[in-house]
Structure 1
Amino acid sequence: MKLLRFGPKGNEKPGLRDQDGVLRDLSGFLPDLTSATLGKATLARLAELDPKQLPAVAEPVRMAPIVADIGKLICVGLNYSDHAAESGMAVPAEPVLFTKATSSIIGCNDPVVLPRGSVKSDWEVELGVVIGARARYVEIEDALDYVAGYCVVNDLSEREYQLERGGQWDKGKGCDTFGPVGPYLVTADEVPDPQNLDMWLEVNGKRFQAGNTRTMVFGVAHLVSYISRFMTLNPGDVISTGTPPGVGLGQKPEPVYLKPGDQMRLGIDGLGEQRQTVHAWNPELIDG
């Protein structure tokens, strides 16, 4: 299933995209798509519904963050060896972990607002893994049983804040609007091999990133197992698994960074596309 949330901020509803591409309203069956509704039993009941019996939703409509109460957005750095090389960093022996503030999370097509004074904001298309069951010290062979589904994430990054302001990546990763997720939570049964998904990102119509999840240093099962050793993963948590090469920081002869008016378009096969317009600092675009 392609599950989603739609509607204006504060009035979001749950929905699904049926096999004919029609957006359907799930709110008569489910109050919202939350951490409490990602368990296997609820997903199984949703799968038994006849989408044609659900109300169709007129489009266009805002696509909201895919889970109403994402508890943690945990990211993996340098998880593609060629991206590590373009960043001038070594391939890590163990996964590099950092977090994005939940205040960075937005709908997949919401405005991206540059931090005040930012000159080094960058893009990163990534596979997101949505946790569906509490995971603690999970073995690799069991790890995918804890996954509710997958999504697209744009792990936007302010490189000056990340790399030049005292060594804490979180400062460059958690800026407001720097965590677009969605448009869909595609349930795990529709993604039989998360290590064979093409992914891409364009800025102003130019393709900068084109990769495949098969080239991850640490695969999805490894990451779920590894992270569960250091913190409990709860339903609704999202793991953003790293980006392939082609980020702005790695462009030659000089880096290319986002500026107001830029248009980003990105996607992963089977998981949908995102589109964002970049804006100068404007808190009304964040809070509105």
Structure 2
Amino acid sequence: MSEGDDARSAGNHPSTFYGVNLGLPEGAQRPEDVPLVCTSIQEVQAAVRTHKTARFKQFTCRELAAVYSGQRLEPAEPTSPAAAPAAAAGGEKPSPFRNPTRPEFQAFRSLVEHGDEAAVAAAVERNPRLLVSSGDAPALLREGPRHNALHLAALHGRPAVCRRLLQAVAEPGFFRILYPDDEPEVAAARARRVTDLYLNVPTKGTYETPLHLASKLGHVEVVRELVRHPACKRDVRNKFGETPEQVICKQSKGGESADAARQLAFLLQDPYYVQVLADADGCEPPVLAPPCSPQQGRPVGESPVQSPDST
């Protein structure tokens, strides 16, 4: 893709979204002329000009902006149209945590690479910005290949650190610490988005997710930690069109790669479940339904097995 194509693509897909909360009384209907999500400051100004109780925030995710627009807020001083551009320039209310310095990022990277789980947890507790940048994206610990902490933990085979990192970013409470003014719904949306980014964003150049890195190096326990998360995508392809399953143990070291390959092949299979169907009164023996993947889905209570009466 050329630079011109990149520019056009960026123009078609805005990266900044404004949630506009009108501060309406409970039960009041939102006017149809005010969208839940705005993509320009001009739209924001129009909304706050006609609705004196309106407030807004800037987001990098449309979902978060929509959640903010629809939630119930405590009454506040009205926002003047003239103040809108100045407030937008600052974005959301600043987090109480400052951005780490380069030496702090380097020290944190060393902790991750060496698998010091307790020290990693302590560092994140002191400053959550070591994991999440001001744009609600995974903080980069290596600029060139664009490695975040999970990439590095997967690369170096640190399952305990992987577990600790994912537990942190998947917890809405983590984002309530970063953004104390957030409503629970907004914090939960942030957690879902950042967890997805940590699990599935590829590296620069080779386009490998943490799952690719752990699989090709034969890190069985890291893969186990990653695939236990429903948001982990097993079908992402790298630069060469390969899924994590197709790169199993390609760069594995040691004499146990055959056993690791068998375990990884099992872990990277599509998950499935088997329903046990039984009468509520227990009069009939239970029946096992055929295996079904989560992607197939099936309405609750719908039996895939015909009853004797229906034949």
**Higher RCO structure, 1 or 2 (CA under 8 Å, sep 6+):** 1
**Normalized per residue, which structure has more strand?**
1
Establish whether TM, by shorter chain, passes 0.5. Answer: no
TM-score interval, normalised by the smaller of the two chains? under 0.3
- TM-score, reference length from structure 1: 0.24
More helix by share: 2
Q: Larger radius of gyration, structure 1 or 2? A: 2
